[in-house]
A and B are shown apart, each in its own frame.
Chain A
């Protein structure tokens, strides 16, 4: 075994007396792609933040290429060649792509930033990540989430890392971009770079990594080479217990003739250039998946149904009401109530600085008020019902919601919407960036809601989820539904083929 490039010796970290990491010994070798696995709250993020200088360890030492180091700030870690791409992107929205890529060490002329050289540099780096379509002069705020992640990757590359940390860095990428990133990481490995890869997608880890380390409850459980453990064993190591089947069983599909009229039906839905005539129907008790490559109109479709978009055309029937609600406020209070779990929980789903309780109540003030005032008794009852229904792991409902782990934050978002007792539930990639255990809880919850007669429209970028959860899947391509699949006909091959808009025969 070659000498470790980064080594942890007895690293511990406490937050307000609660241990986040305890006595962690950890090594990573140059020229490897090293997966860090663990549930949310297992200490992965803390471990990464210590390595990248965001947090300082309370005990223990870090060795970089054999010598002890301390990183008082991200800047110090960067200067030592440790570059981290965080789940929360570290891009500045109001600056251009080129500015962002060279943000801390821009090319200079006469001491001032040389914009032309900076644009050239951005073009080179974007070409390396095969994103020549991104204009270096565009503002980052104008880009989609998946493009931003690619810019983030280009930015990290530009810093010539010795250690590259990817924290859920591929969560929003398109299939093509994911392949690009895989190739890149392979190149970097051959050049002796150590990559630390955090992902909740097992197939990514499987395809990419050569070494795996499992964390649980702030402790480093085991490190092993790929192939030494089966997937089941890995999952057991992560959660410390056996897991039952990943997806809850689906009820049999009713025969075509006996189906009730759908609760939500959409015909010829159009919006700008993004939606070009979507036809769709969701009945009570059904989970309908939205498939396809990223950016084919799935998100816009959900936003349109929830009344967020203006100038939407097409025939929509929700319950007995014709037309699209005029705003989210109208959508949630109509006769047939709608709820949307949005794409970005940190900005659209939650008010991060406010308490868990306030976030839970945010959509349902009408139910718990007497006249203009909130009834504290009703509010408390609703809050504790919501917390116990979704098993949200929280110290106190008065804590700010940002103190929760990602999975528990998402549970708060879902619990908030369940409080209005919605009839139609729109889910926009609700399991993005959350751990296996919570994912399974969400799958179960979706199925039990469907069994209660809710209509669920579910967008996911993960094919396995669509196959495991959905009664039917509509695959979108260029703003239209190009394929509808039911029951056992839903398979990875058929979904991929439909995503690329090619016939199954051709595939």
Chain B
């Protein structure tokens, strides 16, 4: 019975299972080849570089599950990055307020996207192409030049290990409490991503609204006929996407101590988020997959780029090799077609 349900779980989430295996293989190999592999320092550096794309990929997952694409996720991240770079300083209360304001900005932007898609009846891809440009425009108004003022302690505490976090804020006897020791070496950024995934994504997936998002992507007509709240679910999906993109922007500000309205960076994040979503086993047709998969997909993309540091490869080759790896990875999904006996199943 147990075996049957495990087998079913894997076969129903084949893309996700492949992504997890690929990530494990790539990251273990990377650590073995790295001179300081399996150390806290390497893990901290790696997770710092992964957080922003991980959040943006999770943000992209929601519109993709609906069967659409959100071309504004990178831009919303950039906008919130610039907002955060203005407010993350002063007293702890002020900093918390600034964080709230940053997340609220992204959430409201997502809400706006959702309303445009639902009430304006505009396809997500074109609606977000426009709103993405608006977000970049706002970001440039806020921060015409890169820069900003972000609390230094905060930056240090959130971008290092758990011990450093406790040490900075004098918690748990400055990080030396016995109960903290097993966790002391875990990177804080990694915990942040996992925390958001568990606190935001998992409940969402198990709510009626979340399930409606899947139902819309799978068969919108059937979802409507079943009396599901279609409009609410679409708006919720884009709003949550905006929130997650804002998490990415907030972290980027903390990590770099600045805001930067970089158009190219915004575009690159958007495209990478789509790649990460697909790598993580979410279908671009909608209805199957999930944000945890996209998280894994984002990690895979990043691990590939880490290899360029330890292997002596010309950095100019990086885009070429990333493209080939992406193609190879998504081709795994195509293997199933070799086993299909009824060719009509290929079109379902």
Contact = CB atoms under 8 A, between A and B. Distances in A.
Interface string B184-225: 000000000000000000010011100100110111011111
* Leading 9 A-B pairs by shortest Cβ distance: A90-B225, A75-B227, A94-B218, A94-B287, A112-B206, A92-B215, A78-B227, A90-B222, A74-B227
A368 B214 CA distance: 43
A95 B341 CA distance: 23
Contacts of A111: 203, 207
Interface string A130-173: 00000001110100000000000001000000000000000000
A310 interface: yes
Nearest to B221: A88
7 contacts: A106-B208, A106-B211, A138-B8, A141-B348, A272-B341, A309-B343, A310-B340
B342 A309 contact: yes
A137 B222 CA distance: 19
A113 B221 contact: no
Interface in A297-333: 300, 303, 308-311, 327
B223 A92 contact: yes
A113 B342 contact: no
A93 interface: yes
Given A88-B221, A327-B343, A74 B226 contact: yes
Contacts of B101: none
Contacts of A348: 344
A63 interface: no
Given A90-B222, A308-B344, A99 B207 contact: no
Contacts of B211: 95, 99, 103, 106, 113
A230 interface: no
A330 to B, nearest CB: 12
B228 to A, nearest CB: 6
Given A104-B227, A112-B206, A113-B207, A92 B219 contact: yes
Interface string B329-348: 00000000000111110001
Contact of B226 (A79, A103, A113, A272): A103
B12 interface: yes
A89 interface: yes
A103 B342 contact: no
Interface in A56-78: 73-75, 77-78
Contact of B224 (A74, A95, A300): A74
B227 A310 contact: no
B227 A95 contact: no
Contacts of A74: 224-227
B225 A86 contact: yes
Contacts of B222: 88-93
Interface in B220-243: 221-229
A90 B220 CA distance: 9
Nearest to B339: A310
A430 to B, nearest CB: 18
Interface residues of A, number: 42
Nearest to B286: A94
Interface in A203-240: none
Q: Which of B5, B203, B215 has the most CB of A within 10 A?
A: B215
A458 interface: no
A443 interface: no
Contacts of A310: 340-343
B257 interface: no
Contacts of A137: 5, 8
A4 B226 CA distance: 25
A197 interface: no
A112 B203 CA distance: 7
A281 interface: no
A265 B62 CA distance: 52
B215 to A, nearest CB: 4
Contact of B214 (A77, A94, A155): A94
B214 to A, nearest CB: 6
Contacts of A141: 348
Interface string A426-455: 000000000000000000000000000000
Contacts of B343: 308-310, 327
Contacts of A103: 211, 215, 223, 226, 228
B273 interface: no
Contact of A104 (B206, B226, B342): B226
Nearest to B285: A94
B340 A94 contact: no
A351 interface: no
A271 interface: yes
A84 B219 CA distance: 17
A478 interface: no
Interface in B1-53: 5, 8, 12
B288 interface: yes
A113 B208 contact: yes
A111 B207 CA distance: 8
A490 interface: no
A339 B119 CA distance: 44
B334 to A, nearest CB: 16
A90 B215 contact: no
Nearest to B287: A94
Nearest to B5: A137
Contacts of B288: 94
Contacts of A91: 219, 222
